[in-house]
Amino acid sequence: MAAPVSAGTRLQPQPLDPPARLRWYGVVVVALAFVPFVAPADVAATATRILALALLAVSLDLLVGVGGMPSLGQAAPFGVGVYAAGLTARELTPFAPVQVLVAVAAGALLSALLGWLVVRSRGTYLLMLSLALAELVHTLAGKWDALTGGTNGLVGVPALTFAPGGEPVRLAGLVYWWVLAVAVVGFLVVVVVSRSAFGRSLRGIRDNEARMSSLGYSTFRVKYTAFVISGAVAGLAGALWMAQTRFASPEDLGFHVSAFALLAVVIGGRGSLWGAVLGAALVGVIRDEFGPQLGGRGPLLLGIAFIAAVYLLPHGFAGLRLRRARTQGHP
Protein backbone atom coordinates (compact mmCIF):
# COMPACT_ATOMS: atom_id res chain seq x y z
CA MET A 1 0.00 0.00 0.00
CA ALA A 2 1.27 3.45 -0.89
CA ALA A 3 2.35 5.64 1.99
CA PRO A 4 -0.05 8.45 2.86
CA VAL A 5 0.78 11.88 1.55
CA SER A 6 0.40 14.92 3.75
CA ALA A 7 -1.36 17.99 2.42
CA GLY A 8 1.82 20.04 2.35
CA THR A 9 3.93 17.48 0.55
CA ARG A 10 5.01 18.47 -2.91
CA LEU A 11 4.69 15.49 -5.21
CA GLN A 12 7.52 14.75 -7.60
CA PRO A 13 7.53 12.18 -10.42
CA GLN A 14 9.69 9.18 -9.68
CA PRO A 15 12.78 9.45 -11.92
CA LEU A 16 13.67 6.57 -14.15
CA ASP A 17 16.86 4.75 -13.33
CA PRO A 18 19.66 5.30 -15.89
CA PRO A 19 19.32 1.90 -17.66
CA ALA A 20 15.56 2.36 -18.07
CA ARG A 21 16.07 5.92 -19.32
CA LEU A 22 18.65 4.77 -21.85
CA ARG A 23 16.31 2.03 -23.05
CA TRP A 24 13.55 4.56 -23.63
CA TYR A 25 15.93 6.87 -25.46
CA GLY A 26 17.06 3.95 -27.62
CA VAL A 27 13.50 2.99 -28.50
CA VAL A 28 12.67 6.57 -29.50
CA VAL A 29 15.81 6.94 -31.63
CA VAL A 30 15.20 3.65 -33.43
CA ALA A 31 11.59 4.67 -34.12
CA LEU A 32 12.76 8.02 -35.50
CA ALA A 33 15.34 6.27 -37.68
CA PHE A 34 12.53 4.48 -39.52
CA VAL A 35 10.86 7.72 -40.64
CA PRO A 36 12.47 7.76 -44.15
CA PHE A 37 11.26 4.18 -44.71
CA VAL A 38 7.61 4.89 -43.94
CA ALA A 39 7.19 8.53 -44.99
CA PRO A 40 7.66 10.44 -48.27
CA ALA A 41 10.58 12.79 -48.86
CA ASP A 42 8.65 15.94 -47.91
CA VAL A 43 7.71 14.45 -44.55
CA ALA A 44 11.34 13.48 -43.94
CA ALA A 45 12.36 17.07 -44.77
CA THR A 46 9.82 18.42 -42.28
CA ALA A 47 11.03 15.95 -39.65
CA THR A 48 14.59 17.16 -40.27
CA ARG A 49 13.61 20.74 -39.54
CA ILE A 50 11.70 19.64 -36.43
CA LEU A 51 14.83 17.87 -35.14
CA ALA A 52 16.82 21.09 -35.54
CA LEU A 53 14.08 23.06 -33.79
CA ALA A 54 13.96 20.44 -31.01
CA LEU A 55 17.69 20.79 -30.37
CA LEU A 56 17.25 24.58 -30.28
CA ALA A 57 14.48 24.16 -27.68
CA VAL A 58 16.68 21.83 -25.62
CA SER A 59 19.49 24.39 -25.66
CA LEU A 60 17.07 27.05 -24.44
CA ASP A 61 15.69 24.77 -21.73
CA LEU A 62 19.20 24.52 -20.30
CA LEU A 63 18.91 28.26 -19.64
CA VAL A 64 15.23 28.61 -18.78
CA GLY A 65 14.42 25.35 -17.03
CA VAL A 66 17.72 24.27 -15.53
CA GLY A 67 19.32 27.67 -14.97
CA GLY A 68 16.27 29.85 -14.38
CA MET A 69 17.44 32.41 -16.96
CA PRO A 70 14.51 33.35 -19.23
CA SER A 71 15.77 34.35 -22.65
CA LEU A 72 14.23 35.64 -25.86
CA GLY A 73 17.57 35.81 -27.66
CA GLN A 74 18.26 32.17 -28.51
CA ALA A 75 17.72 32.94 -32.18
CA ALA A 76 21.06 34.81 -32.20
CA PRO A 77 23.42 31.82 -31.72
CA PHE A 78 21.06 29.65 -33.76
CA GLY A 79 21.05 32.05 -36.71
CA VAL A 80 24.80 32.61 -36.48
CA GLY A 81 25.19 28.82 -36.59
CA VAL A 82 23.03 28.71 -39.72
CA TYR A 83 25.16 31.37 -41.44
CA ALA A 84 28.44 29.85 -40.22
CA ALA A 85 27.53 26.43 -41.62
CA GLY A 86 26.35 27.91 -44.91
CA LEU A 87 29.42 30.10 -45.40
CA THR A 88 31.69 27.18 -44.53
CA ALA A 89 29.95 24.96 -47.09
CA ARG A 90 30.04 27.62 -49.81
CA GLU A 91 33.48 29.12 -49.26
CA LEU A 92 35.50 26.35 -47.63
CA THR A 93 34.13 22.82 -47.76
CA PRO A 94 30.73 21.10 -47.81
CA PHE A 95 32.12 18.36 -45.54
CA ALA A 96 29.35 18.04 -42.93
CA PRO A 97 31.48 17.59 -39.77
CA VAL A 98 33.45 20.76 -40.55
CA GLN A 99 30.22 22.73 -40.88
CA VAL A 100 29.07 21.41 -37.51
CA LEU A 101 32.30 22.34 -35.75
CA VAL A 102 32.36 25.85 -37.22
CA ALA A 103 28.70 26.43 -36.31
CA VAL A 104 29.24 25.23 -32.74
CA ALA A 105 32.26 27.51 -32.36
CA ALA A 106 30.36 30.47 -33.83
CA GLY A 107 27.38 29.94 -31.51
CA ALA A 108 29.64 29.60 -28.48
CA LEU A 109 31.68 32.70 -29.40
CA LEU A 110 28.62 34.87 -29.91
CA SER A 111 27.12 33.65 -26.63
CA ALA A 112 30.41 34.35 -24.85
CA LEU A 113 30.26 37.94 -26.09
CA LEU A 114 26.57 38.52 -25.37
CA GLY A 115 26.53 36.52 -22.16
CA TRP A 116 29.07 38.79 -20.51
CA LEU A 117 26.27 41.37 -20.36
CA VAL A 118 23.15 39.22 -20.29
CA VAL A 119 23.86 37.00 -17.29
CA ARG A 120 24.58 40.00 -15.07
CA SER A 121 20.84 40.78 -15.15
CA ARG A 122 17.91 38.77 -13.84
CA GLY A 123 14.26 38.03 -14.54
CA THR A 124 12.46 40.45 -16.82
CA TYR A 125 15.62 42.51 -17.32
CA LEU A 126 17.48 39.45 -18.57
CA LEU A 127 14.58 38.58 -20.86
CA MET A 128 14.47 42.03 -22.45
CA LEU A 129 18.25 42.44 -22.66
CA SER A 130 18.61 39.10 -24.45
CA LEU A 131 15.89 40.16 -26.88
CA ALA A 132 17.50 43.53 -27.53
CA LEU A 133 20.94 42.07 -28.23
CA ALA A 134 19.46 39.37 -30.48
CA GLU A 135 17.62 42.04 -32.46
CA LEU A 136 20.91 43.89 -32.92
CA VAL A 137 22.45 40.74 -34.39
CA HIS A 138 19.34 40.31 -36.55
CA THR A 139 19.69 43.86 -37.88
CA LEU A 140 23.40 43.37 -38.55
CA ALA A 141 22.68 40.25 -40.61
CA GLY A 142 20.24 42.22 -42.74
CA LYS A 143 22.72 45.06 -43.34
CA TRP A 144 25.95 43.12 -43.92
CA ASP A 145 25.36 42.34 -47.59
CA ALA A 146 28.94 41.37 -48.38
CA LEU A 147 28.93 38.52 -45.85
CA THR A 148 25.33 37.46 -45.32
CA GLY A 149 23.69 38.49 -48.58
CA GLY A 150 21.54 40.98 -46.69
CA THR A 151 17.81 40.67 -47.04
CA ASN A 152 18.29 38.45 -50.11
CA GLY A 153 19.78 35.78 -47.90
CA LEU A 154 22.73 33.45 -48.27
CA VAL A 155 22.28 31.49 -51.49
CA GLY A 156 24.35 29.02 -53.48
CA VAL A 157 25.05 26.72 -50.55
CA PRO A 158 26.07 23.27 -51.86
CA ALA A 159 24.68 20.02 -50.52
CA LEU A 160 26.67 18.50 -47.70
CA THR A 161 29.09 15.61 -48.13
CA PHE A 162 30.06 12.85 -45.74
CA ALA A 163 33.67 12.71 -46.94
CA PRO A 164 36.13 15.42 -48.06
CA GLY A 165 35.69 15.75 -51.79
CA GLY A 166 32.87 13.19 -51.75
CA GLU A 167 29.60 13.15 -53.64
CA PRO A 168 26.93 15.65 -52.54
CA VAL A 169 24.19 14.11 -50.43
CA ARG A 170 20.83 15.06 -51.90
CA LEU A 171 18.53 12.29 -50.68
CA ALA A 172 16.23 13.62 -47.96
CA GLY A 173 16.49 10.36 -46.03
CA LEU A 174 20.29 10.49 -45.80
CA VAL A 175 20.23 14.12 -44.69
CA TYR A 176 17.59 13.20 -42.11
CA TRP A 177 19.74 10.39 -40.67
CA TRP A 178 22.72 12.72 -40.41
CA VAL A 179 20.65 15.36 -38.64
CA LEU A 180 19.11 12.74 -36.34
CA ALA A 181 22.52 11.36 -35.36
CA VAL A 182 23.99 14.79 -34.59
CA ALA A 183 20.82 15.93 -32.79
CA VAL A 184 20.98 12.85 -30.54
CA VAL A 185 24.60 13.68 -29.67
CA GLY A 186 23.66 17.29 -28.91
CA PHE A 187 20.73 16.18 -26.76
CA LEU A 188 22.91 13.77 -24.78
CA VAL A 189 25.49 16.51 -24.21
CA VAL A 190 22.83 18.71 -22.64
CA VAL A 191 21.52 15.78 -20.58
CA VAL A 192 25.02 15.05 -19.25
CA VAL A 193 25.61 18.73 -18.45
CA SER A 194 22.26 19.11 -16.69
CA ARG A 195 22.79 15.98 -14.55
CA SER A 196 26.41 16.70 -13.68
CA ALA A 197 27.73 18.49 -10.61
CA PHE A 198 27.76 21.63 -12.73
CA GLY A 199 24.07 21.14 -13.55
CA ARG A 200 23.23 20.70 -9.87
CA SER A 201 25.08 23.92 -9.11
CA LEU A 202 23.09 25.64 -11.84
CA ARG A 203 19.83 24.41 -10.34
CA GLY A 204 20.94 25.59 -6.93
CA ILE A 205 21.57 29.07 -8.31
CA ARG A 206 18.17 28.99 -9.99
CA ASP A 207 16.46 28.16 -6.69
CA ASN A 208 18.48 30.39 -4.34
CA GLU A 209 21.36 32.36 -5.84
CA ALA A 210 22.17 34.21 -2.62
CA ARG A 211 22.57 30.97 -0.72
CA MET A 212 24.82 29.44 -3.40
CA SER A 213 26.95 32.58 -3.36
CA SER A 214 27.29 32.36 0.42
CA LEU A 215 28.48 28.76 0.01
CA GLY A 216 31.39 29.99 -2.11
CA TYR A 217 30.07 29.42 -5.63
CA SER A 218 30.88 31.97 -8.32
CA THR A 219 27.31 32.32 -9.53
CA PHE A 220 28.28 34.56 -12.44
CA ARG A 221 30.82 32.02 -13.71
CA VAL A 222 28.36 29.14 -13.48
CA LYS A 223 25.60 31.04 -15.28
CA TYR A 224 28.02 32.41 -17.86
CA THR A 225 29.35 28.92 -18.62
CA ALA A 226 25.79 27.63 -19.02
CA PHE A 227 25.03 30.51 -21.37
CA VAL A 228 28.02 29.65 -23.56
CA ILE A 229 27.18 25.93 -23.61
CA SER A 230 23.60 26.75 -24.52
CA GLY A 231 24.80 28.97 -27.36
CA ALA A 232 27.11 26.24 -28.67
CA VAL A 233 24.22 23.76 -28.80
CA ALA A 234 22.01 26.38 -30.48
CA GLY A 235 24.76 26.89 -33.07
CA LEU A 236 24.77 23.13 -33.62
CA ALA A 237 21.01 23.29 -34.21
CA GLY A 238 21.66 26.02 -36.77
CA ALA A 239 24.07 23.76 -38.66
CA LEU A 240 21.41 21.04 -38.77
CA TRP A 241 18.88 23.56 -40.06
CA MET A 242 21.28 24.56 -42.83
CA ALA A 243 21.88 20.90 -43.74
CA GLN A 244 18.25 20.65 -44.83
CA THR A 245 17.34 24.14 -46.06
CA ARG A 246 20.71 25.12 -47.66
CA PHE A 247 19.62 28.74 -47.31
CA ALA A 248 20.03 31.39 -44.63
CA SER A 249 18.28 34.71 -44.17
CA PRO A 250 18.05 37.34 -41.45
CA GLU A 251 14.73 35.74 -40.50
CA ASP A 252 16.72 32.87 -39.00
CA LEU A 253 17.81 35.40 -36.36
CA GLY A 254 14.35 36.91 -35.93
CA PHE A 255 12.25 37.22 -32.81
CA HIS A 256 9.81 34.56 -33.98
CA VAL A 257 12.54 31.89 -33.83
CA SER A 258 13.25 32.68 -30.18
CA ALA A 259 9.52 32.81 -29.48
CA PHE A 260 8.94 29.40 -31.08
CA ALA A 261 11.76 27.91 -29.01
CA LEU A 262 10.43 29.42 -25.78
CA LEU A 263 6.92 28.27 -26.65
CA ALA A 264 8.24 24.73 -27.14
CA VAL A 265 9.93 24.84 -23.73
CA VAL A 266 6.79 26.09 -21.98
CA ILE A 267 4.55 23.52 -23.68
CA GLY A 268 7.02 20.74 -22.95
CA GLY A 269 7.59 21.76 -19.34
CA ARG A 270 10.46 23.88 -18.08
CA GLY A 271 13.39 21.82 -16.90
CA SER A 272 12.31 18.71 -18.80
CA LEU A 273 14.62 18.18 -21.77
CA TRP A 274 12.49 15.46 -23.32
CA GLY A 275 9.48 17.72 -22.78
CA ALA A 276 11.21 20.43 -24.81
CA VAL A 277 11.63 17.93 -27.65
CA LEU A 278 7.91 17.08 -27.59
CA GLY A 279 7.01 20.76 -27.42
CA ALA A 280 9.23 21.50 -30.42
CA ALA A 281 7.62 18.66 -32.35
CA LEU A 282 4.17 20.09 -31.68
CA VAL A 283 5.26 23.62 -32.61
CA GLY A 284 7.02 22.39 -35.77
CA VAL A 285 4.05 20.33 -36.97
CA ILE A 286 1.60 23.18 -36.39
CA ARG A 287 3.87 25.71 -38.06
CA ASP A 288 5.04 23.68 -41.08
CA GLU A 289 2.13 21.31 -41.67
CA PHE A 290 -1.10 22.80 -40.37
CA GLY A 291 -0.16 26.45 -40.90
CA PRO A 292 -0.02 26.34 -44.73
CA GLN A 293 -3.23 24.31 -44.83
CA LEU A 294 -4.99 26.98 -42.77
CA GLY A 295 -4.04 29.83 -45.06
CA GLY A 296 -1.12 31.08 -42.99
CA ARG A 297 -3.02 30.97 -39.70
CA GLY A 298 -0.37 28.78 -38.06
CA PRO A 299 0.52 31.45 -35.45
CA LEU A 300 -3.14 31.64 -34.43
CA LEU A 301 -3.25 27.88 -33.94
CA LEU A 302 0.00 28.04 -31.98
CA GLY A 303 -1.54 30.67 -29.73
CA ILE A 304 -4.55 28.46 -29.11
CA ALA A 305 -2.26 25.51 -28.36
CA PHE A 306 -0.27 27.65 -25.91
CA ILE A 307 -3.41 28.80 -24.07
CA ALA A 308 -4.68 25.22 -23.91
CA ALA A 309 -1.32 24.02 -22.56
CA VAL A 310 -1.28 26.71 -19.87
CA TYR A 311 -4.75 25.80 -18.60
CA LEU A 312 -4.76 22.04 -19.17
CA LEU A 313 -1.06 21.27 -18.60
CA PRO A 314 0.34 23.98 -16.32
CA HIS A 315 3.58 21.98 -16.02
CA GLY A 316 3.67 21.09 -19.73
CA PHE A 317 4.03 17.57 -21.07
CA ALA A 318 6.42 16.86 -18.23
CA GLY A 319 3.57 17.51 -15.82
CA LEU A 320 1.86 14.33 -17.03
CA ARG A 321 4.39 12.30 -15.03
CA LEU A 322 3.78 14.52 -12.03
CA ARG A 323 0.05 13.92 -12.37
CA ARG A 324 0.64 10.18 -12.63
CA ALA A 325 2.81 10.31 -9.50
CA ARG A 326 0.02 12.11 -7.65
CA THR A 327 -2.52 9.53 -8.85
CA GLN A 328 -0.35 6.65 -7.70
CA GLY A 329 0.29 8.36 -4.35
CA HIS A 330 4.10 8.52 -4.51
CA PRO A 331 5.54 10.51 -1.62
Report yes or no on 234 lying in a domain.
yes
Report yes or no on 306 lying in a domain.
no
User: Mean pLDDT throughout 139-145?
Assistant: 92
Report yes or no on 195 lying in a domain.
yes
Say if residue 8's pLDDT is above 70.
Answer: no
pLDDT at position 283: 86
pLDDT at position 134: 94
pLDDT digits (tens, 9 = 90+) for 185-199: 999 999 999 999 999
Report yes or no on 283 lying in a domain.
no
CA distance 170 to 162: 11
Would you say 70 and 258 are in contact if contact means Cβ atoms under 8 Å apart? no
Share of the chain above pLDDT 90, in %: 54
Find the distance separating the first CA and the last CA of the chain, reported in whole Å: 12
pLDDT band at 18 (very low <50, low <70, confident <90, very high): low
Share of the chain above pLDDT 70, in %: 85
Would you say 168 and 94 are in contact if contact means Cβ atoms under 8 Å apart? yes
Range of the domain at 57: 34-252
Who has greater pLDDT, 163 or 112?
112
Least confident of 2-6, 37-41, 275-279: 2-6
Report yes or no on 39 lying in a domain.
yes
User: Mean pLDDT throughout 124-130?
Assistant: 92
pTM score of the predicted model: 0.88
Nearest to 258 by CA among 90, 16, 59: 59
Report yes or no on 198 lying in a domain.
yes
CA distance 183 to 238: 11
pLDDT at position 11: 37
pLDDT at position 27: 85
pLDDT at position 72: 92
pLDDT digits (tens, 9 = 90+) for 77-124: 999 999 999 999 999 999 999 999 999 999 999 999 999 999 988 888
- Looking from the CA of 193 toward its CB, the CA atoms found within 13 Å total 26
Least confident of 14-23, 78-87, 218-227, 297-306: 14-23
Stated as kind and residue range, the H or E segment containing 136 is helix 123-143
- Distance set, CA 182 to CA 14, 50, 179, 186 (Å): 29, 13, 5, 6
Least confident of 58-67, 151-160, 248-257, 320-329: 320-329
- State which of 9-13, 103-107, 142-146 shows the largest mean pLDDT: 103-107
Report yes or no on 297 lying in a domain.
no
Report yes or no on 122 lying in a domain.
yes
Who has greater pLDDT, 325 or 82?
82
Domain count of the fold of the chain: 1
CA distance 7 to 23: 35
Phi-psi region of 269 (alpha: psi -120 to 50; beta: other; left: phi over 0): left
Who has greater pLDDT, 303 or 151?
151
Say if residue 184's pLDDT is above 60.
Answer: yes
